[in-house]
A and B are shown apart, each in its own frame.
Chain A
Amino acid sequence: MSTNYKSISVASHHQTESLSTVQKLSLALLSLGGLMQLIYWFGGLTEAPSLWLWPSLLLGAVGTAWYGYDQYQNKIPGVKNNGIWFKSLTSRGSVAWMLGIILTGFYIILYWFPQYLGLGNKETGNTGLIRLFDPLSQMITGHDASQWFVYGALYTFIIFFLGLKFIWKYRYNKYQVLRTISIMFFQTIIAFLLPSVLESFSLPFNDFKNIWPLNYYFFFDWHIDELLASGNFGIFVLFWGILSFLVLTPILTYFYGKRWYCSWVCGCGGLAETAGDPFRQLSDKSLKAWKIERWMIHSILVFVFLMTALVLYTRFTGQANFLFLNSGAVSNLYGFLIGSAFSGVIGVGFYPLMGSRVWCRFGCPMAAYLGLLQKTKSKFRITTNGGQCISCGNCSTYCEMGIDVKAYAQRGQDIVRSSCVGCGICSAVCPRGVLRLENAGNDIDKRAKETRAMFGDFE
């Protein structure tokens, strides 16, 4: 074993780890793939997109997977958080700041200026980045790409390949592995491929796991009209949408907590858990942030209910206004403020600055609904293990939802919090085996109130 020691003794004593050859090579492949897409985009190219698209995707995929594999391959199983607070990218340094600006800018272009991505019309056709994805879109949907197709494709690509990296990082933790496979499945098959295939059969685009109120346009006039015009399939989607909100969600949340959705199924959660994993420690753990969170997320829940009620009122009465509220204006406002600005621009753009779950924590009305169910009617809690907590703060630090897990653990109190998405990372990083996510109905009210960590006697 002393050979290991020698190989380390030549390493630099500086805090920054130097890159291995494999890491350099894999990052080079990834960068080349990205560069190809940028050239095609900013060059405003229109020719031979296949010759650019496939190699760029291949380079990106191989580069990302290889990098992720190499990063954790020869490591002994365990927590891999060394230097998180020293690296610029993961501690709000200059790299993080720049990345935040670039991501935010990308979302602004995506939502409001898709022409800069190269979105054309039927006559002119697409150029640039959107043109680049035409071959893939043609293959799956049978027509040219839109900005949403490009976004969906990149989104899925990122969840899939950074998901592989995440699995490799946590490959000794089966909860993390299974959860991530589930996320990758739902994003790739249910959110990306299935809706695209539906489109190719001239059926309405539908992501079956995107449940109202996260899917805020579900009850919009145009959407209901589209469903009603699609025969049995449309009726099924309508039925499924209502059923999943009213029946499926409360039942699954009762048994498993909101995690069944937020960290096993949801696409926003999926991106947060994979691409967002390096930023989970940046969430604000203060009591003040928790107060703001409760006000914001519940206000948005009220907003979405109100807006939907207005829209349905207009549909059934034909009146555009209820009192002074115009349903069209209110739904437009919601779409702009919450659907686009909050969930996309801030939700993902601010990953490197505010952590990966800003949207899920402060904005998502589905999370609010699930959270109310979790808080009041669920078997799910995080159990704390007697008096073993040493208050080290790893759990709170790596809670992407900003829950001060330690505050509960150090007094031996089971954790029932509406915001907990059940990602299980607190349990994974705890050095003393104090936290376990579990479900049981028989005592939850009692154990979430009691504090059991003090004297050696627990009974």
Chain B
Amino acid sequence: MKVIIIGNGIAGSNAARYIRKLGDHEIFMVSGESEYPFSRTALMYIYMGHVQFNGTKLYEDFFWQKNRITLLKKWVSKIDYTSKSVIFDDGSSLPYDKLIIATGSKPNKFGWPGQDLKGVQGLYTLLDLESMEQATQMGVDHAVIVGGGLIGVEMAEMFHSRNIPVTFLVREKKFWDMVLPADEAHMVSEHILKHGIDLRLESEIAEIIDDGNGSVAGVITKAGEHIKCNFVGLTVGVSPNITFLKESGIEINRGILVDEYLSTNIPDVYAIGDCAEIRMPKPGRKAIEAVWYTGRMMGQSVAQTICGKPTAYDPGLWFNSAKFFDIEYQVYGEIIATRQEITQTFYWQHPELEKSIRIDFKKDSKQVIGFNLMGIRFRQEVCHHWIKNGTTINDVMQNLALANFDPEFYDEYEEQIVAAYNKECGEQIKHQGKRNLSLVNRLLSKI
């Protein structure tokens, strides 16, 4: 059987890897972006000089040949579903038995005047990074970043690392407050300011100004302010990168519609990762989840299905992570969605440092449903264990240190946190946990 995967991001790469693990099929992975699969989330670290491109490759180059996965550096122009073949922009074509579409996202543009000027771009692909580097080499005196999401703050940090002043326009009241609870959003907003970023909250652009030669000269905000700049970063979200499939007969809403087996309406064609839209998402989950982790899981899931072990895609408990300049962020389970009516939240913040812990739990049963961490690392396995087993907040508090994943010798806040919890909730919990892996293993091996 011949499998073609379009797109070599984490979803496609992981699909290839698992298909090989599960069988002896012929595997082709196509990408016009890069010869070898790399970590998209690491693009910022290349620009900042922390890592080299080679260091961001998912595997050493020999891996693909050794696993007989053929990498093709080509752009796909269209797919012929009747003859079951993929047609490339150089005119050549390749037949498939099974096809996986994993073409990822592209940055959103909302029709602002000037959005296609030179020096205006998003950051998603390696090519975006290259053009950002090129612009920097030409000299960026001032960058404006539009949109307060994860890529926006990454871009701000990137320019900051090169001593380029940044104005950061964010529509919301606080940075990323559609995801982060207010306290955390406030902490991150303050942190961004502390780095010298000119963060403008509740601020949007109206238009991007042409310098007369087709390059950006500045932006005008909705409030009418004119900000001079020669780079504009558009980071107002991403949407599925599927333009080349429009009108091809594959069912599309915002993304390529797939069932729980990640199959599209066309036989033997699957879609995974950012470009896939799940028809019936699990409760509390979105139809399109453009995150690294779900892409990776979908790749593994579809591989099983293709290799004769039909497997419904199950992303498990929600989790995610990010880093806002120097503040690490981790989330396990649900934090915001069902707040207030049936859930309660406990929040502790360090009196001076940018560190906090939030635990959401059900009002009636006291069972924990989510952990939100800023500047403190928690163990995913322990949080999942507690959530899945319906552990009560009191039990969690009693053993809180088992979840901690900070490096050895770091300050321990568990006693303070439990004291704060006792005070807030009128409990008398005594903390007994230890930051000890043996105890953690004992907890995890209990059924």
Q: Is residue B139 within 8 Å, beta carbon to beta carbon, of the partner chain?
A: yes
- Which of these binds chain A: B51-59, B364-372, B419-427? B51-59
Q: Which residues from 247 to 300 on chain B have a C-beta closer than 8 Å to any C-beta of chain A?
A: 292-293, 296-297, 300
A285 to B51, CA, bound (A): 13
Q: Which residues from 137 to 165 on chain B have a C-beta closer than 8 Å to any C-beta of chain A?
A: 139-142, 161-165
Q: What A residues does B165 contact at CB under 8 A? A: 5, 8-9, 11
Q: Is residue B67 within 8 Å, beta carbon to beta carbon, of the partner chain?
A: no
Q: What B residues does A438 contact at CB under 8 A? A: 408, 437
Q: What B residues does A5 contact at CB under 8 A? A: 165, 196-198
The 7 closest A-B pairs by CB, nearest first: A456-B316, A386-B380, A78-B326, A433-B377, A440-B437, A392-B42, A4-B196
Q: How many residues of B contact A (CB 8 A)?
A: 75
Contact of A7 among B62, B196, B379 (CB under 8 A): B196
Q: By the criterion CB–CB under 8 Å, are A1 and B296 in contact?
A: no
A206 to B317, CA, bound (A): 58
Q: Is residue A455 within 8 Å, beta carbon to beta carbon, of the partner chain?
A: yes
Q: By the criterion CB–CB under 8 Å, are B410 and A174 in contact?
A: yes
Which residues of A approach B to under 8 Å, CB–CB? 1-2, 4-5, 7-9, 11-15, 17, 76-79, 81-87, 173-175, 178, 285-287, 383, 385-388, 390-394, 396-397, 404, 407, 410, 424, 427-429, 431-433, 436-443, 447, 452, 454-459
Q: A79-B326, A456-B316 are in contact. Are A392 and B161 (CB under 8 A)?
A: no
Q: Is residue B436 within 8 Å, beta carbon to beta carbon, of the partner chain?
A: yes
21 pairs from A and B in contact (CB 8 Å cutoff): A8-B163, A77-B326, A81-B50, A82-B49, A83-B48, A85-B52, A173-B407, A175-B409, A383-B437, A386-B379, A387-B319, A388-B330, A392-B41, A397-B55, A431-B323, A433-B321, A433-B377, A433-B405, A440-B436, A447-B441, A455-B301
Contact of A456 among B198, B297, B407, B442 (CB under 8 A): B297
Shortest CB-to-CB span from A134 to chain B, Å, is 42
A78 to B354, CA, bound (A): 12
Q: By the criterion CB–CB under 8 Å, are B409 and A174 in contact?
A: yes
Q: What B residues does A4 contact at CB under 8 A? A: 193-196
- Which of these binds chain A: B72-80, B174-182, B210-218, B381-389? B381-389
Shortest CB-to-CB span from A448 to chain B, Å, is 13
Q: Which residue of A lies closest to B139 (CB)?
A: A13
Q: A174-B411, A431-B328, A436-B405 are in contact. Are A386 and B384 (CB under 8 A)?
A: yes
Q: By the criterion CB–CB under 8 Å, are A76 and B49 in contact?
A: no
Q: By the criterion CB–CB under 8 Å, are B407 and A392 in contact?
A: no
Q: A393-B55, A410-B58, A454-B297 are in contact. Are A82 and B407 (CB under 8 A)?
A: no
Q: By the criterion CB–CB under 8 Å, are A458 and B384 in contact?
A: yes
| CB < 8 Å A-B pair total | 203
A396 to B6, CA, bound (A): 28
Q: By the criterion CB–CB under 8 Å, are A390 and B39 in contact?
A: yes
Q: By the criterion CB–CB under 8 Å, are A459 and B48 in contact?
A: no
Q: By the criterion CB–CB under 8 Å, are A458 and B380 in contact?
A: yes
Q: By the criterion CB–CB under 8 Å, are A427 and B50 in contact?
A: no
Q: Which residue of B lies closest to A381 (CB)?
A: B437
Q: What B residues does A79 contact at CB under 8 A? A: 50, 326
Q: What A residues does B59 contact at CB under 8 A? A: 407
Q: By the criterion CB–CB under 8 Å, are A433 and B330 in contact?
A: yes
Q: Is residue B92 within 8 Å, beta carbon to beta carbon, of the partner chain?
A: no
A82 to B195, CA, bound (A): 14
Q: Which residue of A lies closest to B376 (CB)?
A: A433
Q: What B residues does A387 contact at CB under 8 A? A: 293, 296, 319, 380
Q: By the criterion CB–CB under 8 Å, are A81 and B49 in contact?
A: yes
Shortest CB-to-CB span from B236 to chain A, Å, is 22
Q: Which residue of B lies closest to A447 (CB)?
A: B441
Q: What A residues does B326 contact at CB under 8 A? A: 76-79
Q: What A residues does B60 contact at CB under 8 A? A: 286-287, 404
A424 to B381, CA, bound (A): 21
Since A76-B195, A391-B58, A458-B385 are in contact, a sample of 9 more A-B pairs with Cβ atoms closer than 8 Å, ordered by chain A residue number, is A14-B163, A78-B325, A84-B50, A286-B60, A385-B405, A392-B41, A436-B405, A454-B297, A456-B384
Contact of A442 among B48, B161, B197, B442 (CB under 8 A): B442
| Most B CB within 10 A of own CB, among A5, A87, A441 | A5
A438 to B437, CA, bound (A): 7
Q: Which residue of B lies closest to A428 (CB)?
A: B407
Q: Which residue of B lies closest to A173 (CB)?
A: B407
Shortest CB-to-CB span from B333 to chain A, Å, is 11
Q: By the criterion CB–CB under 8 Å, are B316 and A17 in contact?
A: no
Q: Is residue B136 within 8 Å, beta carbon to beta carbon, of the partner chain?
A: yes
Q: By the criterion CB–CB under 8 Å, are B196 and A8 in contact?
A: yes
Q: What B residues does A390 contact at CB under 8 A? A: 39, 41-42, 292, 321
Q: A5-B165, A390-B292, A440-B441 are in contact. Are A457 and B316 (CB under 8 A)?
A: yes
Q: A5-B197, A383-B437 are in contact. Are A85 and B49 (CB under 8 A)?
A: yes
Q: What A residues does B442 contact at CB under 8 A? A: 442
Q: What A residues does B296 contact at CB under 8 A? A: 387, 454
Q: By the criterion CB–CB under 8 Å, are B162 and A394 in contact?
A: no
A81 to B50, CA, bound (A): 5
Q: Is residue B114 within 8 Å, beta carbon to beta carbon, of the partner chain?
A: no
Q: By the criterion CB–CB under 8 Å, are A443 and B380 in contact?
A: no
Q: By the criterion CB–CB under 8 Å, are B381 and A386 in contact?
A: yes
